[in-house]
Amino acid sequence: MKASLLVFGLAVGAGALAAQGVAPAAALSVATTRVRSEVPTGTSQFAGAVIGGEGTLALGRVQLDVSYVQGKVDPDGASGPGYDLVEGAVLVRARTVPWLTLGAGVHARSYTLPGGTQRWVFTELRARAAGLFIGSAVRGYVELWRAIGADVNVPEAFDHAQGGEAGMIVRLSRAPIVARIAYRIDHAVLGGGTRRETVDGVLIGIGVSRR
């Protein structure tokens, strides 16, 4: 519900902002998510779908990205209770060359577990390379990020985290409609390797863009 309101708000404000030289974009996202935790006592794996939205405001070479998804993941291949997953990010990016964008921001994820909410907050640096590869309609991109700081309320000490996303964006030539399909993966290492957290999945989005 929150995600829908966010997307709706971005879409409504897009027209007014475009007139001021600001290029807005908004999209609805559906993602399959698989959460895998490896600890010395064993490996747990949960899977499910999350839904949300994302919006972008671009002004010249600089853009602000906001995203929010939430959903529920259940044990993968086993029975048992699942838990809610909420994830959001706020990133500022700058296009350095036409095909390369560098960015930084905060990326947070929380799991609503029976024993309390587990929060993962990463401060990230990101780099994205993108380019057209099918006419002017389809753009491919590869993005990598690495955490330069983290705030995690788990017993293990944070070691490092990094991730990436690769996919393609299809833009219709006669309408401001964009569609996206991508594969994303985050990998965090804690406690000197005693705990490994991996979240990956397929992201499908559809939205409007005036860029």
Partner 1 sequence: MSWRVAGLCALTWVLQAGAPAVARGQTSALPFAEGVRAYKNLDFALAAGLLRRDLARLTAANAPAAERVPGLVYLGAADLFRGRRDSALAVFQRLVLLDPRFRPDRLVFPPLVTSMFDSVRARTKTVVISVPPDTQVTPGTGGFGAWLFASSFQTVEVTLRYEDGAPFRFLYSGPIGDSLRVQWDGLDAAGQLPPVTRVLLRVTSRAPTGELAGIAQLPLTLRLVQPDTLPWPPPPADSQFLPERASGRPAMRALWGGVLLAGAVAALPAVVGESNASSGPRVAVVGAVGVAGVLGYFLHRPGRPIPPNIHANQVRRDAWQRRVDSVATDNVRRRGDVRLAVHAGEATAMQPRTQ
Decide: 209 and 25 in contact? Cβ < 8 Å: yes
Tell me the closest approach of the beta carbon of residue 61 to partner 1, in angstroms.
Answer: 24
Backbone angles phi, psi at 38, to 5 degrees: -115, 115
99 near partner 1 (CB under 8 A): no
Binding pattern for the stretch 8-47 against partner 1, x by CB under 8 A and - elsewhere: ------------------------x-x-x-x---------
> Which residues between 156 and 195 bind partner 1 (CB under 8 A)?
162-168, 170, 181-183, 185-187, 189
d(CA 142, CA 125): 14
DSSP string, 3-62: HHHHHHHHHHHHHHHHTTT-EEEEEEEEEEEEEEEEETTEEEEEEEEEEEEEEEEEETTE
Helix (H) or strand (E) holding 68: strand 62-75
48 near partner 1 (CB under 8 A): no
124 near partner 1 (CB under 8 A): no
Which residues lie near partner 1 (CB under 8 A)?
A: 32, 34, 36, 38, 131, 133-135, 138, 140, 142, 144, 162-168, 170, 181-183, 185-187, 189, 196, 198, 200-202
